[in-house]
Amino acid sequence: MIRIDDLSLFVRTAALGSFSNAAREVDLLAGQVAAAIKRLERELDIRLFARSTRSLRLTAEGEQYLPTAQTVLDALKDGREKLRRESAELRGVLQVGAPSDLGRNMLLPWLSAFRRQHPALSMRLFLSDQVADMFRDPVDVAIRYGVIEDANYIALSLAPWNRRVLVASPDYLARHGRPLQPDDLLRHDCLLYTLGGRMYDKWRIGSRVLTVSGALFSDDADVARRWAVAGEGITYKSWLDVSEDVSAGRLEVLMQDYPGEPAPLNLVCPHRKQFSPAIQQLHSLLRNRFAELESGLPKLL
């Protein structure tokens, strides 16, 4: 079995050019380094160094094996550092901004569980459908839909596959019929909400952009989803916002032949916050959670 210490001594000997130099670096005798190299050569059944009384150089096989040895050592180092980061106790305050619907119905239990795993960490959750100014508002990270083009921010992907979908309740469809093509939406009750600071009434369905209307509007996107579940009309929402309702049969996805617009989800942070251990661990948790929901997205989308 190959010893990691022997592998490390091989790499350092190749870099430093002699057993003596490698030995001095790790406070060993030159003979001990030579013995380690011999053990490694026996395990590999190859000769790694060509030795003479005045020189030491890699053989062709040694040169070929050196990148592999370095890759193994680098992977082990990365693994140790990752374990050290993840086992370190998270402290301080983490302030998270998120859309109202996603935050209230999906993120809330996940963030609560994350906080329980790190009892020394305090968390503040800000829910709003308004886009937070992370250099002005009290937010360390924000969870946002859409492509992030602002160079002042780092966008860590959470659900790049996410899209918007048209949904309505079985009760609404029984009473008003099922729209089959985009123009049919103009004759239905559409449930509207605020997006990007304005009423979101221009829906991109397939290659069309339709201006829809309806008697119900809210500045909270979660209300539109609740109205849809209650049978009040059709709404156009992120799959992540309605996936649980669709799975439970409370809502149905409509017009699957007409793809909804992409709505990638990202964890956004300023450059200065990029390497916070709390942010890194939160990103890993959320990315894994959202990945579990991808399989439910209607395939025709």
pLDDT of residue 194: 87
Q: What stretch(es) of the chain map to CATH 3.40.190.10?
A: 92-160+264-296, 164-254
CATH 3.40.1160.10 fits 4-87, yes or no: no
Question: CATH fold of 92-160+264-296, please?
Answer: D-Maltodextrin-Binding Protein; domain 2 (3.40.190)
Q: Which residues pair with 97 in a beta bridge?
A: 126, 142
Q: Is the pTM of this model over 0.75?
A: no
> In degrees, to the nearest 5, what angle opens at C-alpha 238 toward C-alphas 236 and 239?
110
Per DSSP, the three-state class of 282 is helix
pLDDT of residue 169: 98
Question: Tokens 């993840």 appear where?
Answer: 86
pLDDT of residue 301: 44
Q: What stretch(es) of the chain map to CATH 1.10.10.10?
A: 4-87
Residues 6+ apart with CB under 8 A from 126: 95, 96, 97, 98, 132, 137, 138, 139
Q: What is the pLDDT along the chain (301 residues), one digit of tens a residue?
A: 888 998 999 998 888 888 888 888 888 998 998 999 999 989 999 999 988 877 889 999 989 999 999 999 988 888 877 766 665 678 888 889 898 889 999 999 999 999 998 999 999 998 887 665 555 667 788 898 887 766 677 888 999 999 999 999 999 999 999 999 999 999 999 999 988 778 999 999 999 999 999 999 999 899 999 999 999 999 999 999 999 999 999 999 999 999 999 999 999 887 655 567 888 889 999 999 998 888 777 764 4
Just give the CATH number of 164-254: 3.40.190.10
What is the C-alpha separation between 280 and 274, in angstroms, rounded? Answer: 8
